[in-house]
Amino acid sequence: MAALDGDFAPPSLAAPLFFGGVDSTALPSVALAFGLAGAAMNIVWPLFGGRRGMLLGQVGVALFFSVHYALTDAVTGAIMNLLALVQALLAIPLGERPAFRIAYLATLPVIALVLVLSWAGPPSAFAAVGLALISLGRYQLSPIRFRACLLAAVLPWVAHNLAVGSIPGLIADACAFSTGALALRYVLRHPQASVRAD
């Protein structure tokens, strides 16, 4: 699956950065496999109980999609997903150690830096806005606010995935929005069920 115009880095930049010079355009089936694995994980993580489980599920999604986007030369999307992975890991202790927020918040300016350094047009902006909304969600200790922010983040990722031609990304977006909306509806109707931090 090849990236379209927009979130694209020339092979001379993208391939050495991620694969030591391997021609990533020769690996479409591997890219598709990683993308579909990420899509499958994205379908199930909103159903995980508790904040810790949801964040660990997102770690898996980010890992699979980092590889998927790298193999399709969507470099901004790949780097933003690596950053999302780091942020999800950093966010896990927030419920237990609120002072850890300082370390987590320190990762937020990196989004802007990645945007500038990997700028490739509107898809880069979409990926940055999507990650910023995810970051805002991960900062929330309330599962209700957490889920609401993550639902809002789906729209810029849809725009990114349309621009770079990622079918697995669009599948993941559609499924995450559907399951996430159902999960948010449930916690709104049963607020006591959303109290767990782990």
The tens digit of pLDDT for each residue in 75-114 reads 999 999 999 898 888 878 776 676 676 666 777 899 999 9
Distance CA 126, CA 156 (A): 5
The tens digit of pLDDT for each residue in 21-77 reads 445 455 678 999 999 999 998 888 877 878 788 888 989 999 999 999 999 989 999
State the DSSP code for 144. H
Distance CA 87, CA 59 (A): 9
Burial of 116 (0-12, 13-18, 19+ CB in 10 A): exposed
**Residue type at 153?**
A
The structure's pTM equals 0.76
Nearest residue to 171 (alpha-carbon basis) of 7, 3, 43: 43
| In the chain, alpha helices (H) | 11-19, 28-44, 50-71, 75-91, 101-105, 108-117, 122-139, 143-164, 167-189
